[in-house]
């Protein structure tokens, strides 16, 4: 008796009869089951043969690689070449860190030969970044001299004897005991005569031994980074260093200063201003702090007038306006002939007097972020003065709408534009309260050569972090025009953070994808919003208490959709 319909029932919920079950067990399954067993035996045999062959191959490969490593070019590099390569492995944005997985310590853990070369190269060990150890609150800590003195041998024997650049970091969340600072300071303070760069990224009063150094103790010091008091973090039982009176700021070689949250009047520091090339005055991140009655815009103008060799200037501090009785030492002009980079956040003061005096014929890079209404018009008059040299501009999007944007047409050498939001200062007005930048701005970047509204034909980088109300079609049109026209520079990077979801049906065509393949970087970031092309993140238990024993629910999907076309 046959059952011709059984094959069609496979994969369904069909329930076979007793006769069909008997037929499957005794008439259908025995033959394929026996064949499957034969195949398993053959597979096991072949796998055993393959395993033996793989073992032979691995043995031969190990022998070959061993001999190849003996004749590798790296083993026969001259020591001076190897030292030069080692030097190029050092970090460039910060000092060397005490980490066995990073250079220079990593270089001493490759082989004995490299370790010898690394330890005999003093330049590798000329910098060090020392983070003050964190104290875990509520847990007893046993951190004493033996812990810091048990630093890797390389830093004990090599770095501390050839140290030229030091950065000391304290998270400033709470006061670290004096004993901890003493252990660290005692290790490098005796070698102050070697220092070229000193960064004290700490508000602790226990760095007073450094403040007590005399000018003659730091004859080589060229760069100095100091911190003032963090609001509410200092113990009133300790006095903070009076940096404006200390000897290290008088170093006759000092060229670069970086002061964070310094509350003293900057003009009272006995710096040799005539030789200063770099000035950075900043606040703590995300915290402007209360207004500083010790510093107003006039003080900043005086400092600039005393620094004719200035190349880089960065001011991001709270300022007060120039009073009716301005200092008699106020200059009538500010000729900074060597100034190339300027970052200026007005800090709540009307900065127009500074820019009206400023003469910077060599200025290449400008970041200007105003926080008060009176400052927003400054660029309209200042940009034409530097239109022949300026290469990059960073400023709020309020400047890129009429009537302010007209002055951009004179800056024909601009290669980079970054659009930001103005930093909030807690004032009643913020320059963000303007219309968003429209498609017209992108169109003006690709106008013909003879058009009076043409902007930045040399533009290579466009970074819009806020205020861009461009249509997706206008962005694609802009990209295609920039990459296909001979009379304007090709884009290298375009980044836009939109204020709306991606338009329905929008997609990047083959032409733009080819530009990306050729090296163009395109980053388009949209808020997810109600874009129906994106999956919704539905969490049934959202709003309910988490299960017992859990601290919270897993993170939900991001609210931003990013297109990074690389």
Provide the residue-wise pLDDT of the chain in tens; the chain has 566 residues: 578 888 888 989 999 999 889 999 998 999 999 999 999 999 999 999 999 999 999 999 999 999 998 888 888 899 999 999 999 999 998 999 888 889 998 998 888 889 999 988 999 999 999 888 765 554 444 444 444 444 555 555 555 667 899 999 887 655 678 888 888 888 889 889 999 999 998 888 888 999 999 999 999 999 999 987 765 554 556 677 888 889 999 999 999 999 988 878 888 899 999 999 999 998 766 566 666 667 788 889 999 999 999 999 999 888 877 765 555 667 888 999 999 999 998 887 888 899 999 999 999 999 998 877 667 788 888 999 999 999 999 998 878 877 766 788 888 899 999 998 877 765 544 444 455 788 888 999 999 988 888 889 999 999 999 878 889 999 999 999 999 999 999 999 999 998 888 887 777 788 888 999 999 999 988 887 655 555 556 667 666 666 655 544 444 445 566 666 65
What whole-number distance in Å separates Cα of residue 26 and Cα of residue 30? 7
SS (H, E, C) 249-311: HHCCCCCEEEEECCCCCHHHCCCCHHHCCEEEEECECCECCCCCCCCEHHHHHHHHHCCCCCC
- CA-nearest of 468, 471, 557, 566 to 519 is 566
Give residue 506's pLDDT. Answer: 76
| Backbone phi, psi, residue 404, to 5° | -70, -35
Q: What is the pTM of this model?
A: 0.78
What whole-number distance in Å separates Cα of residue 132 and Cα of residue 151? 14
HSE-CB at 138 with a 13 A cutoff on CA atoms is: 0
| Backbone phi, psi, residue 506, to 5° | -75, 135
Tell me if 462 sits within 8 A of 444, measured CB to CB.
no
Top CATH class of 376-566 equals: alpha beta
User: How does DSSP classify residue 497?
Assistant: E
Cα Rg, the chain, nearest whole Å: 33
What is the helix (H) or strand (E) element at residue 344, kind and residue range? strand 341-345
- CA-nearest of 230, 235, 231, 232 to 206 is 235
What whole-number distance in Å separates Cα of residue 191 and Cα of residue 459? 48
Give residue 310's pLDDT. Answer: 97
What whole-number distance in Å separates Cα of residue 347 and Cα of residue 321? 10
Q: Is 139 exposed, middle or buried (0-12, 13-18, 19+ CB in 10 A)?
A: exposed
Give residue 553's pLDDT. Answer: 45
What whole-number distance in Å separates Cα of residue 524 and Cα of residue 7? 54
Give residue 408's pLDDT. Answer: 86
Tell me if 132 sits within 8 A of 202, measured CB to CB.
yes
Pairing verdict, β 341-345 and 127-131: unpaired
- First CA to last CA across the chain, in angstroms? 66
Which residues on neighbouring strands pair with residue 461, listed in sequence order?
A: 416, 493
Tell me if 431 sits within 8 A of 398, measured CB to CB.
yes
Task: Classify residue 289 as left (phi > 0), alpha (psi -120 to 50) or beta.
Answer: left
Write out the DSSP string of 173-191. Answer: SSPPPHHHHHHHHHHHGGG
What whole-number distance in Å separates Cα of residue 159 and Cα of residue 148? 14
Q: Any idea where the domains of the chain sit in the sequence?
A: 376-566
Tell me if 289 sits within 8 A of 231, measured CB to CB.
yes
């Amino acid at each position: 008796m046959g059952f011709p319909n059984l094959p069609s029932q496979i994969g369904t919920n069909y329930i076979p009869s007793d006769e069909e079950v008997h037929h499957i067990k005794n008439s259908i399954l025995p033959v394929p089951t026996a064949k499957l067993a034969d195949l398993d035996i053959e597979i096991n045999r072949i796998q055993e043969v393959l395993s033996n062959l793989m073992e032979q191959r691995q043995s031969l490969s190990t022998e070959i690689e061993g001999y190849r490593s003996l004749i590798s070019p790296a083993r026969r590099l001259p020591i001076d070449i190897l030292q030069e390569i080692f030097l190029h492995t050092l970090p460039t944005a910060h000092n060397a860190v005490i980490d066995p997985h990073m250079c220079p310590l990593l270089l001493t853990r490759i082989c004995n030969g490299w370790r010898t070369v690394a330890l005999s190269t003093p330049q590798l060990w000329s910098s060090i970044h020392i983070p003050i150890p964190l104290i875990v609150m509520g847990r007893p800590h046993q951190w004493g001299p033996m812990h810091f003195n048990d630093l890797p041998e390389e830093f004990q024997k090599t770095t501390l004897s050839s140290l030229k650049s030091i950065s000391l970091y304290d998270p400033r969340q709470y006061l670290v005991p004096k004993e901890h600072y003493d252990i660290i300071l005692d290790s490098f303070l005796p070698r102050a005569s070697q220092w070229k760069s000193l960064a004290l990224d700490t508000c602790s009063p226990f760095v007073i031994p450094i403040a007590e150094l005399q000018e003659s103790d730091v004859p080589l010091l060229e760069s100095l980074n100091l911190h003032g008091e963090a609001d509410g973090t200092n113990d009133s039982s300790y006095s903070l260093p009076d940096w404006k009176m200390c000897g290290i700021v008088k170093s006759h070689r000092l060229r670069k200063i970086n002061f964070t949250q310094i509350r003293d009047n900057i003009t009272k520091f006995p710096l040799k201003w005539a030789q200063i090339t770099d000035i950075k005055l900043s606040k703590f991140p995300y915290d402007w702090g209360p207004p500083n009655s010790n510093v107003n815009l006039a003080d900043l103008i005086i400092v600039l007038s005393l620094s004719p060799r200035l190349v880089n200037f960065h001011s991001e501090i709270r300022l007060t306006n120039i009073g009716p009785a301005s200092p008699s030492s106020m200059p009538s002009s500010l000729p900074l002939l060597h100034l190339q980079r300027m970052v200026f956040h007005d800090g709540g003061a009307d900065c127009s007097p500074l820019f009206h005096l400023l003469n910077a014929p060599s200025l290449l890079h400008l970041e200007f972020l105003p926080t008060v209404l009176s400052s927003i018009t400054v660029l309209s008059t200042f940009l034409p003065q530097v239109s022949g040299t300026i290469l990059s501009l960073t400023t709020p999007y309020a400047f890129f709408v009429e009537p302010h944007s007209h002055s951009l047409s004179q800056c024909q050498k601009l290669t980079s534009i970054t659009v930001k939001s103005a930093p909030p200062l807690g004032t009643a007005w913020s320059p963000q309260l303007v219309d968003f930048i429209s498609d017209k701005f992108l169109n003006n970047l690709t106008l013909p050569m003879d058009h009076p509204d043409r902007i930045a034909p040399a533009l290579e980088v466009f970074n819009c972090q806020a205020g861009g109300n461009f249509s997706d079609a206008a962005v694609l049109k802009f990209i295609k025009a920039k990459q296909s026209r001979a009379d304007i520079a090709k884009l290298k990077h375009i980044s836009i953070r939109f204020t709306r979801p991606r338009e329905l049906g929008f997609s990047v065509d083959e032409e733009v994808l080819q530009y990306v393949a050729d090296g163009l970087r395109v980053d388009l970031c949209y808020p997810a919003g109600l874009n129906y092309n994106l999956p919704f993140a539905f969490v049934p238990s959202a709003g309910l208490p988490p299960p017992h024993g859990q601290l919270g629910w897993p993170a939900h999907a991001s609210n931003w959709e990013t297109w990074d076309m690389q």
